[in-house]
Amino acid sequence: MADEDVVGDREPLLTQEGLRSRISLVFLKFIGAFLLASALFYLLIDNLDADSLSSEEQDALSIMRPLMKESSVQEHLLDKVCDLSIGEWVPNSAGPAYTNKTCNRIPQHNNCLKNGRPDRGYLYWRWKPRFCDLPPFDPVTFMHAMGNKSWAFIGDSIYQNHVHSLLCQLSQVEAPHVIYQDLSFNIIWHFPSYNIKIYEIWSPLLIQYETIHNDVDFSKIMIRLHLDILDSSWTRFYNLYDYVVIEWQQVVLTSQALYMRKKQSHWLPLLTWSPMHYEDGELPNERVRTVPYHPFDGDNKKNVENDCNHWCLPGPIDTVNDMLMKMVMNGDAHDPDSAIL
């Protein structure tokens, strides 16, 4: 026959085309049998009569089903995306990646080790997401991947806190150079070996605003806010940035006027920040105090600020770099669920 070769008295050998057809048929039969068996098993489990099971077996089955469902959901989350905001702080015996002795980029007000903070426990924690691993920040890998790219950090003093944390970790590989600085707190850092630029852009409100002084009482200042106009200090240079990190916190303005063009779809910003944590804050029965400030202050400061917004360096804010690297290196930044920080 056309598709068979007879060899002696043995069975004819299938040609390559016939062999493929038979293998495909066997494979399809196997898949069909497997699916049928799975369906029968599911129907059997799902329709078990209560009279045919003991009370212990019924309890075990009722526990097993939600656990199996939860397990499948967790596996799906692991495969799809990891929400880094869901997790817990766990002990980290490795400690910080840098100290005030190995990094000279720590501002004085964030240098808690140098300023005499007596405890060290806050240095030995790390953030562990529930559904995935979060490796520590690797400055070498990060800098190789970010070669010839630029980062912009936009906001107020909180973004500066993060930038200095990132600079301290990256400076373990190469010391950055300041190639631009002005009186408005705008700075450009450059890592020449990798041609990486980090922009610090001061824009405390992210939107356009004007300061109106009172000619009679200089202590009274009016802030005019344009809610529908972004601050040009950062928008006019957006084409220079490969990555942008925007930070904003609730700013206490004693007197403010809000402006927005008519016929806009949104008139009020969404309140998503937590209550104020300063003296006489919004939380009931909370009056944080700055005294007594002994023993580590040495009686050098009679007026000690209580700063509940900024972080010690090194400190917990370093874990933001772990998240940043995972989002960028793993491509998770394209998924909105992974960008919840």
Structure tokens at 51: 């009279």
> What DSSP string describes 59-104?
HHHHHHHHHHHHHHHHHHHHHH---TTSEEEEE-TT--S--TTT-S
112 within 8 A of 141, measured Cβ to Cβ: no
Instruction: Please give the chain's pLDDT, 341 residues, in tens.
Output: 444 444 444 444 445 555 455 545 545 555 555 555 555 555 454 554 444 555 655 555 455 555 444 455 445 444 556 788 889 999 999 999 999 899 988 888 888 888 888 888 989 999 999 988 899 999 999 999 999 999 999 888 777 888 999 999 999 999 999 999 988 889 999 999 999 999 999 888 887 877 777 666 666 677 777 778 888 888 888 888 999 888 766 554 545 554 545 444 444 444 444 455 555 555 555 555 554 444 445 555 545 455 666 788 998 889 999 999 998 887 654 444 444 44
Q: What is the CA radius of gyration of the chain?
A: 31
Give residue 239's Cα distance to chain centre. 24
Contact predicate 313/110, CB 8 Å? yes
The DSSP output letter for 11 is P
Tell me how many degrees the CA angle 110-111-115 measures, rounded to the nearest 5: 120
pTM over 0.75: no
Q: How far apart are CA 126 and CA 177, in angstroms?
A: 30
